[in-house]
Amino acid sequence: MEDPIFSPPLHRQRHQFVIDFIKRNKPQKVLDLGCSECTLLKQLRFHREMELLVGLDIDGATLKKKMHGLAPMSTDYLQPSDDQLRIELYQGSVTQRDARLRGFDLVTSIELIEHLTLADVERFSEVVFGYMAPVAVIVSTPNFEFNILFPGKTGFRHYDHKFEWSRAEFKSWALKVCLDYGYEVEFTGVGEPPPGQQESVGFCSQIGVFHRLGGRAVCNMMFCDDAEDEFSYTLLYSKNYPSLHDNNILQRVLVTEVLSGAEKLRRKWAEETNGERDAADTQAEGDWEERHRASEQHLEMEEKQTDVFLLVEIPSSEVEISVNQMDCKTLQQAEQQRGFWRSIRKLRKKICFGLMAEDNRSLGKCVSVPLAVLWSGCPKVRALGGSLSNLRQLLMDHPGVTLSQDGSAVLLNDQEHEEEYDDLEDSGYAEARQCSHSVEPEEDWDANV
């Protein structure tokens, strides 16, 4: 009945009040009493500083129906938090003690106490302020004085309310709690009355914000007693949110970062190398044309059997190809010879481009990206890895990553040039490639035995 006259609706204003308090005070352990459909808890799980978020309600059926809405979402798995969040739901009564709910930073009780008998409110005070003894408590409850502004409404706002207090009644209860259990309280509320009526009727929902005198230090002292632990609530739900503190999750995120960082570097290097190589190729093409022409002249002049040695030069190695020329007397044979030169020229290009031997970054079909380069170039890898040796260890244990034998580099498949290698293999010059570079010296197991 109360919401239509408020915008945003009153229940949202109450929850927003709690959220604003949490943003200012950053409690790490929060307990919501009478959490009902878990609406407030669902909003609070987005607060990253939170470590433990717990709900308690006497109504187990509602909790069971709504608890799955607290499960992590796909984005929580894709971008796991740096922090550890655990959510728990208990079924039980605020009039009973349970040691698992002691020592929280904040306990909220939003529109709960009016559902208790006055005798139970006394027990609530003792359990919450005396036994749970959190650092702060937020209690909201209807302000009976405001009800005159609900036209045509008599009695309480909800059939299950056992009472609705005036501001004076609420204040008297709150001050007694402070005296009995060592808290101080500020009064406020949400749901503004019409202009000019604040003093006469007050807020629609009145709120007391309690702080323990002496703060966290006093709370900690309280829990040093050796009183026997009591457990009267039933745990219905508990979930650890995906966190980088979980080693498996950290490893998964780190591997993704490392592989994408390494891939970016591979592309960058390939672009750089292609640029340099295009320039070098233009020069080399000229040389080849000259040699080609010279050899053709040579063929025409020397109409006899001769051996021609062709030296294919690539940056850090040489592939020597011997061509045995037999009886190149006819035009047809000369044409064949010309075709051969052309394919040699093509082969040379492929060898240079594919192996990238001069900078040692690419070896055979693998591109080797040193971890130290990733470490210095990717802040996220640094943040996740912690240290270079830890990074190496995490990658070493992961099946999705291939490290070099000494563990100093990530090896990526050089997909960009794989087709060219395949062409080379088809053209029968695979040996030339193999003799130039082997990717990683294969361990000779037989020799070790």
Assess contact for 296 and 338: CB atoms under 8 A: yes
**H-run or E-run covering 125:** helix 118-125
Radius of gyration of the chain (CA): 38
Q: Which of the ranges 31-39, 80-88, 143-151, 407-415 carries the binding residues for ligand SAH, by CB under 6 A?
A: 31-39
Task: Write the single-letter amino acid at 152.
Answer: G
Q: Which of the ranges 111-119, 316-324, 334-342, 412-420 carries the binding residues for ligand SAH, by CB under 6 A?
A: 111-119
For position 115 contacting ligand SAH by CB under 6 A, the verdict is: yes
For position 134 contacting ligand SAH by CB under 6 A, the verdict is: no
Q: Which residues contact 144 (CB under 8 A, 6 or more apart)?
A: 164, 165, 166, 169
Among 13, 36, 206, 362, the residue binding ligand SAH under the rule CB under 6 A is 36
Q: Which of the ranges 19-27, 89-97, 144-152, 318-326 carries the binding residues for ligand SAH, by CB under 6 A?
A: 89-97
Bridge partners of residue 324, in order along the sequence? 307
For position 207 contacting ligand SAH by CB under 6 A, the verdict is: no
Instruction: Tell me which residue of 432, 418, 431 sits closest to 348, measured CA to CA.
Output: 432
**Separation of alpha carbons 288 and 294, rounded Å:** 10
The closest residue (CB) to ligand SAH is 34
Among 43, 93, 274, 404, the residue binding ligand SAH under the rule CB under 6 A is 93
- Cβ closer to ligand SAH: 67 or 391? 67
* Chain center to CA of 328: 69
Instruction: Tell me which residue of 324, 328, 340, 322 sits closest to 302, measured CA to CA.
Output: 328
Among 23, 46, 59, 304, the residue binding ligand SAH under the rule CB under 6 A is 59
- Cβ closer to ligand SAH: 58 or 177? 58
Q: Which of the ranges 110-118, 149-157, 166-174, 367-375 carries the binding residues for ligand SAH, by CB under 6 A?
A: 110-118
Shortest reach from residue 176's CB to ligand SAH, in Å: 20
- Cβ closer to ligand SAH: 153 or 158? 158
Q: Which of the ranges 35-43, 202-210, 212-220, 415-423 carries the binding residues for ligand SAH, by CB under 6 A?
A: 35-43
Written as one string, the DSSP assignment of 127-191 is IIIIII--SEEEEEEEBGGGGGGSTT--S-SSTT-S--B-HHHHHHHHHHHHHHHTEEEEEEEES
Contact footprint for ligand SAH (CB under 6 A): 11, 34-36, 39-40, 56-59, 93-95, 110-112, 115-116
